[in-house]
Amino acid sequence: MAAYALRRFWTMLWTLLLVSMLIFWIVNLPPGDVLTNQIQQLQASGEAASVSKARFLMQEYALDKPMWEQYLIWMGFWPGPHGFSGILQGDLGWSFELDKPVGEVVGEALWMTIALNAFAIVFVYLVALPLGAIAAVKANTWVDYLATFVGYIGLATPNFLLALILYHKGAQWFGLPVGGLMDKQYADQPMSFAKLGDILVHMIVPIIVIGTSGMAAMVRRLRANLLDELGKPYVTTARAKGVSRVNTVVKYPLRMALNPFVADIGNLLPSLVSGSVLVSLVMGLQTIGPILLSALRSQDYFLSGFILLFVSVLTLAGMLVSDLLLAVLDPRIRFSGRRR
């Protein structure tokens, strides 16, 4: 198990490395950025002080170096103007647009993003597991049809449109606060129980919106898997031997059907994170979504690069957890891994 976990972690690390290169390349794609414009303006003014400031900025952010060196400095693999000082060392860079360190800009939003996605996953599993199981056990009854119908609606309604509707009507329909992640009075306050409670209440609608499409897919898959298992002879045997109704489902078939259910997190996570960014933008949640959008608009590439990297780390870490969980659940994966 330890060897498997280690190998899996290693795979994640180099995937992350490639992803980070790709991201650095993407955020540097636009021909001009805030800093270059600033420098050009300073140089165009022709004053000695401005020119020297421009030169200082160029050096400070290693803009005179080739792209690959800039990347290595950004990541912290290569000594920059201030020695080793990159993401690995905890220096996330400088936001030119806001004139603040990136770490300070994203700050709380990072935790909000993690919390939102984590809650969304928990919601997906908590709802999908019983719903899928019931739909399979009561196959072709009205419960099943209802679950399928809800699932289809959830699958087909794009979550940002759902967000748009609930953004307008949610407060009226459910009496829940919609829009933003906390009440205005808590905006600049330190964390307290009252604030935490307020955030949780504000998160209910976004979590449902983000989770619905993933949940629908999960219900369908679990239902199909469990139906396959329930038809197998060992279930009939168990029933013939007088195992209770609940146990004939929960003890073996459900465990078998759970396998792809957990493995599915790999497909679920990227779309979930995408969805959370989009829903945050539509509903104005204080996650990294709106920060990313404004950073991309102003081509503030340290900021947008870090956020993209963070979002990728979030998905990759989630996939790692799901793979490890799968290995715990299913001995076949552990052993087949060892043989290779």
Among the candidate windows 44-52, 195-203, 223-231, 290-298, which touches another protein by CB under 8 A?
A: 290-298
- Single-letter code of the amino acid located at 154: G
For the chain, first and last CA: distance in Å? 14
Among the candidate windows 44-52, 55-63, 220-228, 288-296, which touches another protein by CB under 8 A?
A: 288-296
SS3 of 306, please? helix
Among the candidate windows 67-75, 124-132, 299-307, 321-329, which touches another protein by CB under 8 A?
A: 299-307
Asked if 312 touches another protein (CB under 8 A), the answer is yes
Among the candidate windows 139-147, 202-210, 234-242, 312-320, which touches another protein by CB under 8 A?
A: 312-320
Residue 186 or 310 with smaller CB distance to another protein: 310
In angstroms, the CA 68 to CA 298 distance is 23
Ranges of H-type helices in the chain? 2-27, 34-45, 48-60, 67-75, 102-137, 142-156, 159-174, 193-230, 233-240, 245-250, 253-263, 265-283, 288-297, 301-329, 331-339
Asked if 157 touches another protein (CB under 8 A), the answer is yes
In angstroms, the CA 269 to CA 282 distance is 20
* Ranges within 239-278 binding another protein (CB under 8 A): 266, 269-271, 273-275, 277-278
Residue 22 or 67 with smaller CB distance to another protein: 22
**Count of residues binding another protein (CB under 8 A)?**
45
Asked if 155 touches another protein (CB under 8 A), the answer is yes
The two three-digit tokens of residue 312, written as one number = 């990728």
Asked if 324 touches another protein (CB under 8 A), the answer is no
User: Which of 165, 164, 206 lies closest to 182 in space, CA to CA?
Assistant: 206
* Residue partners of 240: CB distance under 8 A and separation at least 6: none
Asked if 161 touches another protein (CB under 8 A), the answer is yes
Q: Contact residues for another protein (CB under 8 A)?
A: 15, 18-19, 22-23, 26-27, 29-31, 155-158, 160-161, 164-165, 167-168, 179, 266, 269-271, 273-275, 277-278, 281-282, 292-293, 296-297, 299, 304, 307-308, 311-312, 315-316, 319
